[in-house]
Structure 1
């Protein structure tokens, strides 16, 4: 989720080089191309190749790790470079209300997707993958397992200066709110103030607020990251990045949240028919099963789930049991006032951290 949907965009110059490089890479393709805005390594090469062979069209994946940039591209009506995008279910709903994505109801043929996922993505989104928010930690670096949100706020000596937090206005607050026995979706000012105080205190122990897989790829301090708040599935990319199986993903002992990603098609895309074709293809049970297993993230299709290997289908970290309704909390739409307050907290915490 991202605050650019709820306030004026930052100046383009803030991401000028990134956006310029993106557009140059797009225009470098002279053949018909479907441009997909997506997280890095969140779509299997086999799935891409299968659709390319079927349609005779190339796929260009434009990878993002910053939701600000994602939403800047999706809400910029002066360009039509993005044909298809992955966003979280809350952003799918917000983008639809603001008129930035098309209505997909009855335009794509879907079967086998769980009704609850269809409802969460709404009429303008098609469910893709789902997962949980948890902790990844380096088993070769810490003195003992990092099994709880409480560990991230405990001032453990082996974690001090080695913690990674997610930097967006929602995810940065979830571990702290749950640690304080508060709802991740609370709009009470007293709750948000208490969370700010906890995050401010924790900032002494935080190494980065950058998305952990990106930090490991880009930072010279990557070996100093020992534990990080991540999305389920990120641990596979993190292990691949460092070249060894040292990152372990755990669901915290306390509560966590369940997230859902959805496909959306921008209203200003000139290749909407191709985008719809890709959605239908990637949603086919056989394709969805292989794609999900390759990435290591749960499929939304019960038909696809039934086609997966026993190892994948029965992995409790990928498909956690949902018998206890209190263990996993939904991500809810927040009011604009709540979002603005969270943005202020997010930015203040980062300023405090950077000043140290």
Structure 2
């Protein structure tokens, strides 16, 4: 999920002097830990979970890269960061010996999260839209990159050097992780043109939760599962819908890791084992409505969840999906220049 909340960086520093062993601090997206599962853990162990939220990958990485100034015991990371930070000895290695319930998790997802993290949830990138404002469901990335006149000014994008570019890259028929300068330039030209039609580059849940203009957001790039959180907020199960565009998408997996400087490593491992219990994993998945990588948990979920094609897309869609891959520093720098330039162009147009 890469999904999704308001970052509170000052709190992290202030918390440093107030740590106590009864509390695990989890660096996470907002609405990405089931309250029921959290309460059950606290009742079972007497230990609390204190969540610290971030709203994009770059901010999360900044916190983990400056871990000596913060107290984080667990962190939701993507598969690229799990491998990279693990090799840099910023995360501990996790084995079945340390987390016995890891045996219930699918091999593919375990490999994606490397030996330094365990799979948390997986899903896809797509388009989230309000059915009352967008009566005809979008079916192409072009619908959000080149919106109709009615949708101009009502579009949401993501502030991320991969996911902001993804719609334009897929629309142009290119691969997500392309390093081709001409292909990246094409994506930039598309996004530059689109910038006048964008309402926000905030993550959709963050924007809906925090902006007085949230009712103006009608369509946004988001992650499969976001629609359920938005509908819960709205008190309407059918307001927000989610589609995977026909050109293909990204297949992502979020991983749960333990920073090597945590003072509560033993307790954090116990929490990972708890989350990986099939019954707990099933409860967690149904509560949040994201796809669980825990194969044994599928024996404990409802048919409604198991058969939901928005959570578990058809194989034909998965076959079209790209995976996040490690990028060269040069590629990352190019993409960061593009995203920063697009946001600057957008801001300049808003102030006119």
Q: How does 1:28-177 map to 2 (within 5 A)?
A: 32-105=22-95, 106-109=97-100, 110-177=102-169
Q: Which residue of 1 aligns with 2:201?
A: 209
Q: Which residue of 2 aligns with 1:7?
A: none
Range with bigger deviation, 73-82 or 107-116: 73-82
Matched residues in 2 for 1:80 and 1:226: separation?
37
Counterpart pick for 1:19 among 2, 9, 14 = 9
Which consecutive residues of structure 1, in runs of 5 or more, have no partner in the other structure? 3-14
Question: SS of 2:315's equivalent?
Answer: coil
The Cα of 1:78 is off from its aligned counterpart by 2.3
Matched residues in 1 for 2:250 and 2:76: separation?
19
**What CA deviation, in whole Å up to 9, does each residue of 1:202-261 have, x standing for no partner?**
111111111000000111111110000001111112222334341111111220111000
Which consecutive residues of structure 2, in runs of 5 or more, have no partner in the other structure? none
Q: How does 1:177-188 map to 2 (within 5 A)?
A: 177-188=169-180
**What CA deviation, in whole Å up to 9, does each residue of 1:84-130 have, x standing for no partner?**
01111111112112221111134321122111111110010101100
Q: Is the counterpart of residue 262 in structure 1 residue 255 in structure 2?
A: yes
Matched residues in 2 for 1:285 and 1:156: separation?
45
Question: SS of 1:158's equivalent?
Answer: helix
Question: SS of 1:166's equivalent?
Answer: coil
Q: With the length of structure 1 as denominator, give the TM-score of the two structures.
A: 0.91
**What CA deviation, in whole Å up to 9, does each residue of 1:20-54 have, x standing for no partner?**
23444676676721111111111111211222222
Matched residues in 1 for 2:181 and 2:167: separation?
17
Counterpart pick for 1:239 among 221, 231, 240 = 231
Question: SS of 2:149's equivalent?
Answer: coil
Question: SS of 1:78's equivalent?
Answer: helix
CA distance change for structure 1 residues 317 and 325 in 2, over 3 Å: closer, same or farther? closer
The Cα of 1:184 is off from its aligned counterpart by 0.6
Range with bigger deviation, 56-65 or 171-180: 56-65
Matched residues in 2 for 1:46 and 1:26: separation?
27
Q: Which residue of 1 aligns with 2:264?
A: 271
The Cα of 1:73 is off from its aligned counterpart by 1.8
The Cα of 1:61 is off from its aligned counterpart by 1.4
Q: With the length of structure 2 as denominator, give the TM-score of the two structures.
A: 0.92
Matched residues in 1 for 2:317 and 2:132: separation?
32
Q: Which residue of 2 aligns with 1:9?
A: none
Determine if contact 2:8/2:52 at 8 Å carries over to the other structure: no
Matched residues in 1 for 2:163 and 2:144: separation?
14
**What CA deviation, in whole Å up to 9, does each residue of 1:42-89 have, x standing for no partner?**
111121122222222111111222323322221114235100011111
CA RMSD of aligned residues (A): 2.0
Determine if contact 1:322/1:328 at 8 Å carries over to the other structure: no
Matched residues in 2 for 1:117 and 1:318: separation?
16
Question: SS of 1:129's equivalent?
Answer: strand
Question: SS of 1:145's equivalent?
Answer: coil
Equivalent residue pairs, number:
343
Matched residues in 1 for 2:254 and 2:116: separation?
12
Matched residues in 1 for 2:55 and 2:317: separation?
32
